[in-house]
Chain A
Amino acid sequence: MCGIVGLYLKNPALESQLGALFEPMLISMTDRGPDSAGFAIYGDEVPDGWIKLTLRHHDLEYSWQALADKIKQTLSCDVDWFSNHCVAVFKVQAAAAAVENVIAEAGDDVLILSAGQSIEILKEKGLPQEIAAKFNLSGMKGTHIIGHTRMATESAVTMEGSHPFSTGMDLCLVHNGSLSNHNRLRLELERQGVKFVTENDSEVAAGYLTWRLREGDTLNEALKNALKDLDGFFTFTIGTRDGFAVMRDPIACKPAVLAETDDYVAMASEYQALTTLPGIENAKVWEPEPATVYVWERGQ
């Protein structure tokens, strides 16, 4: 069992409250997932030609400044950064691959949790409440956010095995369920050059989407293909640069509830997680249909 929550703001006036609106949603899903929690928040976009990376180092004393200097010198480019507990958000005027190379060559065990122009992924082991406090979730601003509370079944309780999983530039995935063909699929995806760091089944789903999108699928096509190729139970929520998508497997035994008002679209494993949202009493509340892709994005 796991919990999934997502909040996409239609009303820009609420963007300064995104974290505050989202924190109780995440915490209310503690019963479904007390092992670890994480979220991907979108906003504070960097301009074209820049890349934003969320980096993590296990040592709180790690010198992010030294890493920033190294990137600046090697690539002769501007670097802005700020740290938040054990993670740092780097904004670099360079291509993602070039920055990732510098980080790899530095050999400091820095993990790259996300890359894109908007996304920041923060996740840790522990209770959702502790993780929200650690990263000061309630103070965060943004346009949309998806989160996950994990009760591990398929693999170990580690930070690496917690959700969301990055699936490409500005894309990530959270999963409630279990996949039964993830071992075979992992081998096939590894042959396609997709890298995995855990034995986690959800990471395989993320890797699958990464591969399909790399092959030229739209998000919608990638998800439709996932329905054919992934065997098992899943409710997925996928964060995109402009919004989020929700999809359940054809059996649809893993729960999902959607709510929409003029101000927002919200998604959760259980209705309980939505009760603190403003105007929820009059929201349109419904369950997403099985094997159906739902997408909310700006500009649609």
Chain B
Amino acid sequence: MKVIDIEKASVRELNQALHDQHVECTEREWEVTGVKGDHNLAVGLDEAISVHIKGHAGYYCAGMNKKANIVVHGNAGQGVAENMMSGSVRVVGDASQSAGATAHGGLLVIEGNAGARCGISLKGADIVVKGNVGHMSCFMAQAGTLVVCGDAGDALGDSLYETHIYVKGSVKSLGADCVEKEMRAEHVQELTDLLNRAGVDEDPAAFKRYGSARNLYNFKVDNASAY
């Protein structure tokens, strides 16, 4: 295992060392110490390596991740795993706003709570939050899955496209065009698989499913007279 102390090395040096693994992978296990809320830790990785970040991370941690498995042993600031393509990111503590924003693929697990706008504009990644999510989560989310084992804040799934949302607890309010939907066998299966992948022990039958009513998809002909 290679340990990088970012009280000694810079974040730029850390990220360069991790990017170099894409050219020639010399080390699969990495640990980052001396972490004190630094921004942009382990961003843009493109190799199947494991990175353990020991401490609270700042903004955009593990952004644009490809293939790597990244664990934040603490809280994560805004935009953790934003635009992730593949691999996995696990936050042992809480995550701030916009966790998993625009992520295309991979798995984001947040063991604590996530702030506002979790999974905003999600494009295909899977997000599992063991705690609660804040307001406007999955705003304009297009594909992928959000699982919330706790409660969801206001305006869940506002202007939603085809992301699947599963919530075990209460939903403070649903956003425009987001509705509760029937939990069919294939959804229980999807949720069961995802909970297993995330290593989260919850009963899939206790969840409700939310999705798009698809009323915002098309131009309403009733509005034609406005032109």
Contact = CB atoms under 8 A, between A and B. Distances in A.
A175 B78 CA distance: 19
Chain B interface main SS type:
loop
A274 B37 CA distance: 9
Contacts of B37: 270-275
Q: How large is the interface on B (under 10, 10 to 19, 20 to 34, 35 or more residues)?
A: 10 to 19
A290 B117 CA distance: 12
Contact of B78 (A255, A274, A286, A289): A255
B123 interface: no
Contacts of A253: 97, 116
Interface residues of A, number: 14
B29 to A, nearest CB: 24
B78 A272 contact: no
A272 B116 contact: no
Interface string B89-120: 00000101100000000000000000110000
B75 interface: yes
A275 B135 contact: no
A270 B58 contact: yes
Contact of A271 (B75, B97, B115): B75
B38 interface: yes
Contact of B38 (A252, A272, A286, A290): A272
B12 interface: no
Contact of B75 (A272, A285, A289): A285
Given A252-B97, A285-B56, A290-B135, A271 B77 contact: yes
A287 interface: yes
B58 A271 contact: yes
B156 to A, nearest CB: 15
Interface string B114-130: 01100000000000000
Interface in A72-104: none
B36 interface: yes
Interface string B72-89: 000101100000000000
Contacts of A271: 36-37, 56, 58, 75, 77
A31 to B, nearest CB: 9
A275 B6 CA distance: 14
A287 B115 contact: yes
A255 B94 CA distance: 14
Contacts of B75: 271, 285
Contacts of A272: 36-38, 58
A287 B36 contact: no
For the complex of A and B, the 5 pairs showing the least CB-CB separation, nearest first, are A271-B37, A272-B37, A275-B36, A271-B56, A287-B115
Given A272-B36, A287-B96, 10 more contacts: A252-B97, A252-B116, A255-B78, A270-B37, A270-B59, A271-B37, A274-B37, A285-B75, A285-B94, A290-B134
27 contacts: A252-B97, A252-B115, A252-B134, A252-B135, A253-B97, A253-B116, A255-B77, A255-B78, A255-B96, A255-B97, A270-B37, A270-B58, A271-B36, A271-B37, A271-B56, A271-B77, A272-B58, A273-B37, A274-B37, A275-B36, A285-B75, A285-B94, A286-B94, A287-B96, A289-B134, A290-B116, A290-B134
